[in-house]
A and B are shown apart, each in its own frame.
Chain A
């Protein structure tokens, strides 16, 4: 059972803005940086956001991340059909002495 909680699903029409929340605790999000991964259907996960709000080279600026206290969020602006995927937040957890992933959110483009 994951210690990072995300909504199971989110959706929007093309061009809309979608936001995904990630709720944790003082032992993970509260004391570590948050990362986000995108997993397109049938493929390996891909790093989308690291260190709370940094985008790796090649990731469109439509994707943005933020963190406040023990929660984090991922925003997708200008939603596109190719954004249909599963999204996972993740962070190091001091209590577990390990890396934890969120429960995952499936984004659907209507």
Chain B
């Protein structure tokens, strides 16, 4: 059974940093591109970042480019999101998800974690 479990969320001051983790199980982690998606309170879904199975390719939404960094440790079956220079507008539930096999143009997110809440406030 595919499972994705996020952790690391919490309250952080504006300008601060936080690192999220997503522990994966039930599939060959290194084979799959992984992604982070966020949802601000009462708002819609916003894609944040992709990382390829090898970790060699990464993509970011313009809203987080230069501040967030996605990475993975395939030996630990774990995905990460390092968030720096956090702003109030980064407040959201952050979900990790597995990207179904295929090209980026045909990509879809077939399994999702339960999410972890990040609150940026003084």
Partners in one complex: yes
**A residues near B, CB below 8 A?**
2, 31-33, 35, 37, 39, 44-47, 50-51, 56, 86, 88, 90, 92, 94, 96-104
Residues of B within 8 A of A2 (CB): 44
Give A86's nearest chain B residue, CB to CB. B44
Stretch with Cβ within 8 A of A (4 or more), from B9-17, B79-87, B108-116? B108-116
Contact in complex: B47, A103 (CB < 8 Å): no
Residues of B within 8 A of A51 (CB): 106, 108
Q: Is the CB of A99 within 8 A of B44?
A: no
| A65 → chain B closest CB, angstroms | 11
- Interface residues of B, CB < 8 Å — how many? 25
Cβ–Cβ contact B62 & A96, under 8 A: yes
Contacts of B76 in A (CB 8 A): none
* Min distance, Cβ A84 to any Cβ of chain B, angstroms: 17
Q: How far is the CA of A12 from the CA of B108 in the complex (A)?
A: 28
Kindly state whether residue B68 has any CB partner on chain A within 8 Å: no
Give Cα A51–Cα B108 distance, bound, in whole angstroms: 8
Instruction: For the complex formed, measure the closest distance between the CB of A64 and the CB atoms of chain B, giving whole angstroms.
Output: 16
Rounded to whole angstroms, the CA-CA distance of A62 and B94 in the bound complex is: 30
Complexed CA–CA distance, A97 and B62 (Å): 9
CB atoms of B59 and A97 under 8 A apart: yes
Q: Which of B63-108 contact A (CB under 8 A)?
A: 95, 100, 104-108
